[in-house]
Structure 1
Amino acid sequence: MTLTTLDLAILGCYVLGLMLLAYWVSRDERGQQKDTNDYFLAGHSLPWWAIGASLIAANISAEQIIGMSGSGYAIGLAIASYEWMAAISLIIVGKYFLPIFLKRQIYTMPQFLQQRFDNRVRTTLALFWIAVYVLVNLTAVLWLGALAVNAVTGLALFESMLLLALLSLAYSLYGGLKAVAFTDIIQVVLLVAGGLFLSYLTLQQIGDGQGVHAGLERLMQQAPDKFQMILTKDNPHYVSLPGLSVLIGGLWVINLSYWGFNQYIIQRALAAKDLAEAQKGIVFAAFLKLLMPIIVVLPGIAAVLILPDLAKPDEAYPQLMNLMPSGIKGLIFAALVAAILSSLASMTNSVATIFTMDIYRQLKPAASQQHYVKTGRWVSVFALALALITAKPLLGDFDQAFQYIQEFTGFFTPGIVVLFLLGMFWSRTTANAALAAAIGSAVLSLLAKTFWPELPFMDRVGLVFLSCLLLAVVVSLSERQPAPATAVQLSDINFATQPSFNYAAVAVTLVVASFYYAWW
């Protein structure tokens, strides 16, 4: 054990506070039981600050903190493009996607696909998302979280995963999304405070006590190759972040898919009181996103000087934590555990939502609301159990788990973005065209991976997206059908946003542009 009594006390206070808050916000009024709206969408009661905090807490987890710190160690600041470009993507989602989704009053993304296309599209994508959430996302969070717990406490990997799974169920299983979203406020405060403090201490160490600015200057002088936002072709990591394609290519597809059409992310916005509240939450999340590279990437870059001989890049963040003094280590470890638990709870709740509302309810349409809630809870338990069993076989041999996740999901992301964008903004799109895009994405990605292996995966995502877009348009036009009655009537959607949203959008864009200008 490398945690002191003080560290354990801090961690214990966090866990206890989390459980108490979750119980308090989840309690039922006398004589009332949770229905599906309460359990899966928090009764449409989430305020903007809970939405924004929960978006970031769901997003930033072990695969982000451990994985992106590892990529920062191996690649450098260029990996921050995922974070900074995501801030602009969030603005796009809030402005153009949320008005459509909230107008449709949906629970899930597959439900929108049924409303717009047909049940084939809904079921196909529902099964896909369940598989990805369980076998890619949940496994990654558990595995990388266990690596961190093992590095700090010495607890064996499987026992670490089991502990994290049980803790996430303990505070989220009963209360559902409301418990997850409101406890995420604590998670984000801990995450931001602990992450910033770790970055501060590492830069202080590099600066030999002369301050953070001196530490940053020394880091940039001694590791200049780690401060290039746009990688050149001679860079060994160009295949992961291929130059200007980061700004104009496949990263947009990846981000729009993740922030706009990803159930366990967008579910928070679907649970908002109203559209304006959801858009405020989106803006809040965008500003928090600008901070994330300081929290998750900078420590990895600093580890290049502090821990130059790591066996694997993903060891950077856990090993840095071990260098921290007593008390501070407990705080930073609690922040990491907070991020892990939040993402686990968010993912299991979304798996339960999709399975219950998009698959199980079709099989038992006459069941009671409480039956569906109970089913969702059992699905959450089963999903975590399956992830526990498969985590090590799937991820045990990867040095940079974050890149593995991006590579795998990149097979399907282009088709998902095509069918949603066309489904929302082109009324002639048919259900067959949507299926063609979804299936074509996997087929074309596999062919490109097999016969053009040197093509960077981000470029592959962009090219497959364009190919699937063309395929969907051709299929739709060849069917020669009029716009269906289920098409989105854009004339009924109000895309106007409040002045505060518009000012924030400009501010986020200018900040991101300044980052690229500074480290081009």
Structure 2
Amino acid sequence: MNGVSLLSFLLITAAVALISWYKTRKENLQTAAGLFFANRNLGFLVVGGALFFTNVSAVQFIGENELVYTNNMSVMAWGLSSIFAMLLVSEFIMPVYLRAGISTTPDFLEERYDTGTKHFVSVIFLVSYIVNMLPSVLYSGAVIFNGLFRVSETLHIGYWATTWMLVWLIGLIGCLYTVLGGLKAVAISDTVLGIGMFAGGILLPYAALKYLGHGSVSAGLELLLASQREHFNAIGGPGDAVPFSTMFTGMLLVNLYYWGTEQYIVQQALASRSLAESQKGIAVACVGKLISPLLLNIPGLIAVHLYPRLENTAQVFPRIVSDVCPPILTGYMAAIAFGAALTTFNAGLNSSSTLFVLNLYKPFKAWQQKPVGERELIRVGRRFELLVCLLAMLIAPFIAFARQGLYTYIQMVSGFFSVPIFTILVVGLLHRRMPAIAAKTGLTFFILTYTVSQLLVDTGVHFLHILAVLFVLTVLLMLGIGALYPRKEPFVQQWNNVVDLQPWKRRHLYAVLLLLAMVALFVVFSPLVLAE
């Protein structure tokens, strides 16, 4: 373990924490609005930074670079195609949420369907966070930290024991950060780290190319382009980890769910001071997605030439950072990766607490006819965060036994929870007489059939295509139930907005520019240009 690298890491991490504390020191965290929604007063830069860096976690650093190394650039489709989904959410879904003045996405489902649907979806969200999202963030953070600082070698302990130790270290720090700082602290640190990631996205590929070229960046670039050009291909075929066709089926649905329904993402946008600020923030996050391949994918390309036979492919990113970067830059990259794990974990914890307190605990107390004050909600919310954190830390190390690559495993498991919720949301928006029983039946049908397709029956079909097929079948099922048992009165959304709903006037122009840039990147990383 290099002392300079460790010192650099500690200084940068402490600086981010200090900036977050300074910016949030006057925030009132003794109310639910303050703790969970930063008093709905975030500007577009903070919203954009929070959206982007909450999405970019240590999972992407590890998983995407691993897939580029073992496969090709087709994994880039996850990030780039999400730009289209984000713009759709910005234009059509976010105005609905802000107009309703909701606190959680299940709140809208309660308004659209009934309270039972809200509780059902809230439980699905919480299970998803506890068994998949939060543990995977902790595990990937532990992998990066161990790879960069060689903790296992330095302390002379096994990989398994090191993973447990680092998972608990990251989890406890993240829990403390969230409990003390609330959403505003998470959003501020996301913004600072997002700026740092852009700088790292330039520095790391530069250092890696220089290392590959034995001191010359141009020589390194020539070596990179001289052979194994198939790894440059972002147009994945049927046999690739991410077939290109999935962009138009299950991947689109997953991205629409993620950016339009996932609580820990949507909560960042709901904290904006207006609809225009929210839409600008989403555009800023889209710019981040365009730049992110520099850190999430390009190192994996360079690693193909540096390490022809790497046994543990999950070590691609930490290995290349520790090998090509000077100690100060190694510490800097470790701080960015550690921050990525921490902020995504923090956002997930905050949203878990929000869902439990506002959607389950408070209604339960109301059913018992027991009044509940703000202080009690805050106290229960913080205790629940501790419980969720403990469960996630207990589960995280076992992800090491996942048979697929980390990133594919996470996306596959998220399918159990993501597209079913998005399905009932879309049908509810488009069909005003759809009854609540259709939503509950649709959720149950989707989850059970997807479980069978992934765990019991080998269909031989990519899981993203399976999600698209089940989406269509579930919609048809709900339409059938809606025809037999329609609502007596059509749904009419109630206006309860708490922020300005004037949309961003230039959003369409920037949307076109962002989509053109997205297409251009796919063209560059295709057989037409780099992958010829």
TM range (shorter): over 0.9
Counterpart AA for 2:163: L
Decide whether the 8 Å contact of 1:45 with 1:271 is kept in 2: yes
2:131 matches 1:135:
yes
- Alpha-carbon deviation of 1:232? 2.5
Decide whether the 8 Å contact of 2:254 with 2:418 is kept in 1: yes
**1:118-177 deviation per Cα after TM superposition (whole angstroms, max 9, x unaligned):** 111111111111111121011101111111111222332222112212222333212210
Q: Which residue of 1 aligns with 2:278?
A: 278
Instruction: Name the CA distance, whole Å, in 2 between partners of 1:477 and 1:217.
Output: 63
Q: Which residue of 2 aligns with 1:341?
A: 342
Instruction: Name the CA distance, whole Å, in 2 between partners of 1:126 and 1:260.
Output: 15
Q: Which moved more, 1:142-151 or 1:265-274?
A: 142-151
Instruction: Name the CA distance, whole Å, in 2 between partners of 1:386 and 1:318.
Output: 26
Decide whether the 8 Å contact of 1:68 with 1:402 is kept in 2: yes
2:265 matches 1:269:
no
Instruction: Name the CA distance, whole Å, in 2 between partners of 1:320 and 1:495.
Output: 46
- Correspondences of 1:25-174 after superposition (within 5 Å): 25-28=23-26, 34-155=30-151, 156-174=162-180
- Alpha-carbon deviation of 1:60? 0.7
Instruction: Name the CA distance, whole Å, in 1 between partners of 2:503 and 2:449.
Output: 38
Instruction: Name the CA distance, whole Å, in 2 between partners of 1:354 and 1:395.
Output: 29
Instruction: Name the CA distance, whole Å, in 1 between partners of 2:494 and 2:71.
Output: 42
Match of 1:437 among 405, 418, 442: 442
RMSD across aligned positions (CA):
2.1
Match of 2:231 among 226, 232, 241: 226
Decide whether the 8 Å contact of 2:257 with 2:418 is kept in 1: yes
Counterpart AA for 1:166: L
Counterpart AA for 2:17: M
Decide whether the 8 Å contact of 1:122 with 1:358 is kept in 2: yes
**1:83-103 deviation per Cα after TM superposition (whole angstroms, max 9, x unaligned):** 100112111111100000001
2:405 matches 1:400:
yes
Decide whether the 8 Å contact of 1:280 with 1:501 is kept in 2: yes
**TM-score using structure 1 length:** 0.93
Q: Which residue of 2 aligns with 1:7?
A: 5
- Alpha-carbon deviation of 1:201? 1.4
Instruction: Name the CA distance, whole Å, in 2 between partners of 1:121 and 1:274.
Output: 28
Instruction: Name the CA distance, whole Å, in 2 between partners of 1:172 and 1:57.
Output: 16
2:207 matches 1:201:
yes
Q: Report the secondary structure of 1:415's partner residue.
A: helix
Instruction: Name the CA distance, whole Å, in 1 between partners of 2:403 and 2:167.
Output: 17
Decide whether the 8 Å contact of 1:121 with 1:431 is kept in 2: yes
Decide whether the 8 Å contact of 1:187 with 1:342 is kept in 2: no
Instruction: Name the CA distance, whole Å, in 2 between partners of 1:459 and 1:399.
Output: 18
Q: Report the secondary structure of 1:176's partner residue.
A: helix
Q: Which moved more, 1:147-156 or 1:181-190?
A: 147-156
Give identity over the alignment, percent.
Answer: 25
Match of 1:427 among 418, 427, 432: 432
Q: Which moved more, 1:54-63 or 1:300-309?
A: 300-309
Decide whether the 8 Å contact of 1:204 with 1:210 is kept in 2: yes
Q: Report the secondary structure of 1:505's partner residue.
A: helix
Q: Which residue of 2 aligns with 1:380?
A: 385
Q: Which moved more, 1:16-25 or 1:160-169?
A: 16-25
Instruction: Name the CA distance, whole Å, in 1 between partners of 2:197 and 2:142.
Output: 17
Q: 1:65 to 1:440 in 2, by over 3 A?
A: same
- Alpha-carbon deviation of 1:457? 0.9
Decide whether the 8 Å contact of 2:74 with 2:243 is kept in 1: no
Decide whether the 8 Å contact of 2:73 with 2:297 is kept in 1: yes
- Alpha-carbon deviation of 1:82? 0.3
Decide whether the 8 Å contact of 1:190 with 1:334 is kept in 2: no
Q: Which residue of 1 aligns with 2:157?
A: none
Counterpart AA for 2:146: N
Q: Which residue of 1 aligns with 2:480?
A: 474
Counterpart AA for 1:401: L
Instruction: Name the CA distance, whole Å, in 1 between partners of 2:404 and 2:318.
Output: 14
Decide whether the 8 Å contact of 1:110 with 1:125 is kept in 2: yes
Q: 1:22 to 1:514 in 2, by over 3 A?
A: closer
Q: Which residue of 1 aligns with 2:155?
A: none
Instruction: Name the CA distance, whole Å, in 2 between partners of 1:65 and 1:318.
Output: 9
Q: 1:463 to 1:14 in 2, by over 3 A?
A: same
Instruction: Name the CA distance, whole Å, in 1 between partners of 2:458 and 2:130.
Output: 29
- Correspondences of 1:242-391 after superposition (within 5 Å): 242-246=243-247, 248-323=248-323, 324-365=325-366, 366-391=371-396
Name the count of aligned residue pairs.
507
- Alpha-carbon deviation of 1:204? 2.5
Q: Report the secondary structure of 1:310's partner residue.
A: coil
Instruction: Name the CA distance, whole Å, in 1 between partners of 2:470 and 2:142.
Output: 35
- Alpha-carbon deviation of 1:217? 4.6
Instruction: Name the CA distance, whole Å, in 2 between partners of 1:487 and 1:435.
Output: 20
Match of 2:504 among 487, 495, 498: 498
Q: Report the secondary structure of 2:293's partner residue.
A: helix
**1:223-265 deviation per Cα after TM superposition (whole angstroms, max 9, x unaligned):** 22212222233x3x3xx3233232x211100100111100000
**1:61-110 deviation per Cα after TM superposition (whole angstroms, max 9, x unaligned):** 11111111111111221100001001121111111000000011111111
Q: Which residue of 1 aligns with 2:529?
A: none
2:519 matches 1:513:
yes
**1:381-402 deviation per Cα after TM superposition (whole angstroms, max 9, x unaligned):** 1111111111122443445111
Where in structure 2 are there 5+ consecutive unaligned residues? 152-161, 527-532
Q: Report the secondary structure of 1:174's partner residue.
A: helix
Instruction: Name the CA distance, whole Å, in 1 between partners of 2:333 and 2:284.
Output: 23
Instruction: Name the CA distance, whole Å, in 1 between partners of 2:379 and 2:303.
Output: 46
Q: Which residue of 2 aligns with 1:22?
A: 20
Q: Report the secondary structure of 1:173's partner residue.
A: helix
Counterpart AA for 1:231: G
Instruction: Name the CA distance, whole Å, in 1 between partners of 2:90 and 2:58.
Output: 26
